[in-house]
Amino acid sequence: MIEILTPVQVDRARRTGALVADILATLRGRSMVGTNLLELDRWTAEMIRDAGAESCYVDYAPSFGRGPFGHYVCTAVNDAVLHGRPRDQRLADGDLLTLDLAVRLDGVAADSAISFVVGESRPAGSVEMIETTQRALAAGIAAAGPGAKIGDLSHAIGSVLREAGYPINMQFGGHGIGTTMHQDPHVSNDGRPGRGYKLRPGLLLALEPWIMADTDELVTDEDGWTLRSATGCLTAHSEHTIAITEDGAEILTLPSR
């Protein structure tokens, strides 16, 4: 289903997006050497509850996961890149952590992800990987607007990733979002310009370039959810929810402060 939101719903999405961004910013500030991933999950649940919102993850049970996710935020460390299920693990100096969060507020969802390095150490290639996903995300957003096609966004994202020399996995990518978290259209992280669905004002998209340092192959962890690089290499992931407007693309998942 491709959902076109009303102006009232888009305004609600702005509030949802700001909430997602604020929670992620708070979690980043609390992600220190020694912080437990389960603490991050507990803090997320508290902030969602205090805002009067609801988690898009806790009861999420798609075909590619093993039962309901059962947690409130995805926490992917180092070689983990997507759907990272929080577990009893304390962060170490130099860990590359990705936090991915989706919530629904007033009936509209928003989804965002950030990657950063914990502590003082900076493992080789970690900062470059994060910055590459951020540049790819910015390119995808810049390509979005009324009349553009999904392939234009995919091509813009993929061009940045390919130029930086990273393999591109096409199994998971961006997606439509609205009154539910995952909707059509799918937005691959590479593609051909001029192809696919034509963007219209009121469409919300979650764009999410993610990369693995030296492979495009994923393996599933024993928890049935966490996806890791097949070679154990570092990974990175950046995501924003955007709204297509008459003037272009508006980023919804920016902090309110």
**Is 182 annotated as belonging to a binding site?**
yes
Phi, psi of 132, deg, nearest 5: -65, -45
- The span from the first CA to the last CA of the chain, in angstroms, equals 34
Phi, psi of 145, deg, nearest 5: 165, 170
**Is 152 annotated as belonging to a binding site?**
no
Match 């798609």 to its residue by tokens. Answer: 62
**Is 79 annotated as belonging to a binding site?**
no
**Is 208 annotated as belonging to a binding site?**
yes
Which string of b and e fits 137-155 if b means at least 16 CB within 10 Å?
Answer: bbbbbebbbbebbbbbbbb
Contact 208, 188 (CB under 8 A): no
**Is 111 annotated as belonging to a binding site?**
yes
Q: With CA atoms as reference, report the closest residue to 244 among 147, 104, 101.
A: 147
Helix, strand or coil for residue 137?
helix
**Is 175 annotated as belonging to a binding site?**
yes
**Is 190 annotated as belonging to a binding site?**
no
215: left (phi over 0), alpha (psi -120 to 50) or beta: beta
Name every residue whose Cβ is closer than 8 Å to that of residue 18 and which is 6 or more positions away in sequence: 252, 253, 254, 255, 256
Bind-site residues for a divalent metal cation: 100, 111, 175, 208, 239
Q: Please give the annotated binding residues, written as ranges.
A: 83, 100, 111, 175, 182, 208, 239
Binding-site residue numbers for substrate are: 83, 182
